[in-house]
Amino acid sequence: MNIIVTGGAGFIGANLIRRLLEDQSLFILNIDSLTYAANLNAIEEFDKNKNYSFAKIDIADKKAIEKIFREFKPDKVMHLAAESHVDKSISNPIDFINTNILGTYSLLNASCEHFNSLSDQKKTSFIFHHISTDEVYGDFEKNDDPFTEKTAYSPNSPYSASKASSDHLVRAWHSTFNLPIVISNCSNNYGPGQFIEKLIPMTITNAIQGLPIPIYGDGTQIRDWLYVDDHVRALKKIVYFGKPGETYNIGGSNEIRNIDLVNEICNIFDTLHSAKNKEISSFKDLIVFVNDRPGHDKRYAINSDKIEQELKWKPKEDFNSGIKKTIQWYIDNKSWWHRDQQI
Ligand code: NAD
């Protein structure tokens, strides 16, 4: 079976491809333009596998995307490529419009052309899986129920608005052009190999280096955290067994305030390293509160009942063990984040 993964050099995409390649019957084509967020070590690692190929293409390049679809003839498409950092979407929104909206359009277009050329038998198994975020639902108000698949979209940042737009396009291509699609909206991921601009890897790598650990506002924003491998397990269930036209929410049932999360990472560092080497009494002394991000959502909370009941998925990793594994990975892989990740 041929599967196109877009954004396979990114944090979640690389973890996904690593798992997909465990199945020798799959041929994976990774389409990634290798932006600053790409993990070049993952590309080197996968290159050794005969079931893997790579194409350095910008997904918004319609002609190049159409050509590669004709050549590779995918049975499934898993679309993860995106500009994903909210702060960058505020300073430079155009990249988010180009990649997240126009890039998704270009993939839908190529998928439709390809789908229409398939035999009836091949058509029944084709799916375009769009990987999206819970941020499309916007801020969680005090008396709201956790976001379900029926919650109205209300994005607040250019990032979440661009992802919401792409979700709408994907749904419209299903309703209008009968393209078999499935959408998943996931909460915040953490784990090995995440680019250091995001909260958890930034906290860990700054602690390792004895650098200030910034927290937006008063740090009371609440996020639901999911270990990346649990997200990957959910994506595999959805791409194989998800019902065309449906949306599945994926969450960790693991809501934590940012300040508590950072304090917990500092507590773990206090047990691993002598903070005195950094001329501080505890790693918590490195925390600095910085001006809040504009439009910063206070809370996200996601209801995963549908995927749990229909596809029998549940997160396996407990947060305490997941965060320890993640910290250890950044300690053991300093050359990875030093070499590739100069922001
Ligand atoms: P990431 O930023 O780590 O990786 C994105 C990848 O996409 C990079 O390899 C980059 O080179 C590639 N890319 C960017 N623009 C491209 C373009 N125009 N053409 C081709 N490739 C391009 O992102 P991630 O954290 O792995 O997230 C992957 C997907 O999952 C995104 O769609 C994101 O919205 C979604 N998601 C992420 C999280 C999270 O917590 N990280 C949570 C829910 C959903």
- Full DSSP string of 113-154: HHHHTS-HHHHHH-EEEEEEEGGGG-PPPTTPPPB-TTSPP-
Q: Is 201 close to ligand 1, i.e. is its CB under 6 Å away?
A: no
Mean pLDDT over residues 186-205, rounded?
A: 94
Report d(CA 6, CA 329) in Å as an integer: 25
pTM over 0.85: yes
Report d(CA 138, CA 159) in Å as an integer: 11
Q: How confident is the model at residue 295 (pLDDT cuts 50, 70, 90)?
A: confident
Active site residue 159: yes
The whole-number pLDDT of residue 319 equals: 94
The whole-number pLDDT of residue 342 equals: 47
The residue written with tokens 């690692």 in the block is: 45
Report d(CA 242, CA 240) in Å as an integer: 6
Q: What percent of the chain has pLDDT over 90?
A: 84
Which of 39-43, 68-72, 149-153 has the lowest average pLDDT? 39-43
Q: What percent of the chain has pLDDT over 70?
A: 97
The whole-number pLDDT of residue 261 equals: 97
Q: How confident is the model at residue 53 (pLDDT cuts 50, 70, 90)?
A: very high
The whole-number pLDDT of residue 315 equals: 96
Mean pLDDT over residues 202-222, rounded?
A: 93
Which atom of ligand 1 lies at the shortest distance from residue 103's CA?
18
Residue bearing the bigger pLDDT, 336 or 229: 229
Active site residue 52: no
Contacts of 246 (CB under 8 A, 6+ apart): 149, 182, 183
Looking at the predicted structure, is the pLDDT value of residue 343 above 70?
Answer: no
Contacts of 240 (CB under 8 A, 6+ apart): none
Mean pLDDT over residues 37-54, rounded?
A: 93
- The pLDDT tens digits of the residues spanning 118-146 come to 999 999 999 999 999 999 999 887 778 88
DSSP state of 51: T
Active site residue 285: no
Q: Which residue's CA is the closest to the ligand 1 atom numbered 42?
A: 188
Q: Is 33 close to ligand 1, i.e. is its CB under 6 Å away?
A: yes
Report d(CA 64, CA 110) in Å as an integer: 10
Q: Strand 255-257 and strand 222-227: pairing?
A: antiparallel
Q: Is 200 close to ligand 1, i.e. is its CB under 6 Å away?
A: no
Q: Is 99 close to ligand 1, i.e. is its CB under 6 Å away?
A: yes
Tell me the CA–centroid distance for residue 99 and ligand 1, in Å.
Answer: 10
Looking at the predicted structure, is the pLDDT value of residue 109 above 50?
Answer: yes
Number of helices (H) and strands (E), helices first, in the chain?
A: 14, 12
Q: How confident is the model at residue 300 (pLDDT cuts 50, 70, 90)?
A: confident
For the chain, give the mean pLDDT. 94
